[in-house]
Amino acid sequence: QQQVKQSPQSLIVQKGGISIINCAYENTAFDYFPWYQQFPGKGPALLIAIRPDVSEKKEGRFTISFNKSAKQFSLHIMDSQPGDSATYFCAAAPNNLFFGTGTRLTVIP
């Protein structure tokens, strides 16, 4: 059973547009929600993370929105660039990380 559900599976966005990836979870013990970015042939790299005591965290063009009551969180990439084309994974943890299934983002120039 997938502990963290991620959507969409793939996303195509025009350069300069906003990319939005959504994740949902059921386990209320989760208290750490990171997002990872993975390029082909590389391991995932931490992009940004949030804890449930805040509803939003922004780092540059990347923002996590967190809705504790709905048990949902999302990643927004503002002003999307071709270099952002990668696979993005959300994750959640009580102790070890449970990952979503990934979203392949393609940003068209």
Partner 1 sequence: KAGVTQTPRYLIKTRGQQVTLSCSPISGHRSVSWYQQTPGQGLQFLFEYFSETQRNKGNFPGRFSGRQFSNSRSEMNVSTLELGDSALYLCASSLSSGKFSEQFFGPGTRLTVL
- Interface contacts to partner 1, rule CB under 8 A: 2, 32, 41-46, 89, 91, 93-102
Q: Which is nearer to partner 1, 50 or 107 (CB)?
A: 50
Q: Which is nearer to partner 1, 42 or 70 (CB)?
A: 42
CB of 36 to partner 1, least distance (A): 8
Measured from the CB atom, the residue of 77 and 91 that comes closer to partner 1 is: 91
Closer to partner 1 by Cβ: residue 15 or 68: 68
Shortest reach from residue 2's CB to partner 1, in Å: 8
* Residue 47, CA atoms < 13 Å, CB-side half-sphere: 27
| Alpha helix positions (H), 14-108 | none
Q: Report the candidate in 86, 75, 84 with the shortest Cα–Cα distance to residue 49.
A: 75
Place of tokens 């999307």: 80
Output the CA–CA distances (angstroms, integers) from residue 52 to 16, 20, 48, 81, in the order listed: 29, 19, 14, 29
The nearest distance, CB 78 to partner 1, in angstroms, is 23
CB of 24 to partner 1, least distance (A): 15
Alpha-carbon torsion 90, 103, 25, 95, what sign?
Answer: negative
